[in-house]
Amino acid sequence: MTALLTTNLGATILLGRGKVRDLYAVGDDLLLVATDRISAFDHVLATGIAGKGKVLTQISLFWFDLLSDLVPNHLISAKVGEFPASLHPYADQLEGRSMLVKRAMMFPVECVVRGYLTGSGWKEYKTSATVCGIPLPSGLLDGSRLPEPLYTPSTKGEVGTHDENIDFAATVALVGEADAAELKRLTLAIYKKASAHAESRGLILADSKFEFGRTSDGILLGDEVLTPDSSRFWEGSSWKPGGAQPSFDKQFVRDYLESIHWNKQALAPGLPNEVVERTQAKYLEAFRRLTGRNLDL
pLDDT of 249 above 90:
no
Give the span between the Cα atoms of 209 and 231, in whole angstroms: 7
Instruction: Write down the pLDDT at residue 155.
Output: 86
Residue 206 is given by DSSP the state E
SS3 category, 90 = helix
- pLDDT at position 185 is 98
Contact 239, 206 (CB under 8 A): no
Q: Is the pLDDT of residue 159 over 60?
A: no
Give which of 203, 22, 198, 180 is closest to 111, Cα–Cα.
180
Cα 289 to chain centroid, rounded? 17
- Cα separation, 146 vs 137, whole angstroms: 9
Which pLDDT belongs to residue 162? 63
- Segment 242-249 long-range contacts (CB within 8 Å, at least 24 positions apart): 242/141, 242/142, 242/143, 243/142, 243/143, 244/118, 244/142, 244/143, 245/118, 245/143, 245/204, 245/206, 247/206, 248/203, 248/282, 248/283, 248/285, 248/286, 248/289, 249/282, 249/286
Q: CA 16 to CA 249: how far, in whole Å?
A: 25
- Tell me, what's the pLDDT at 296? 87
Give pLDDT, residue 75.
98
Tell me the pLDDT band of 267, cut-offs 50, 70 and 90: confident
pLDDT-derived band at 42 (thresholds 50, 70, 90) equals confident
What would the mean pLDDT of 1-9 be, rounded to a whole number? 95
Question: What pTM was estimated for this model as a whole?
Answer: 0.94
d(CA 170, CA 182) in angstroms, rounded, equals 15
Q: Which domains does the chain have, with CATH numbers?
A: 13-103 (3.30.200.20), 106-255 (3.30.470.20)
DSSP 235-255: EGGG--SSSPPPBSSSHHHHH
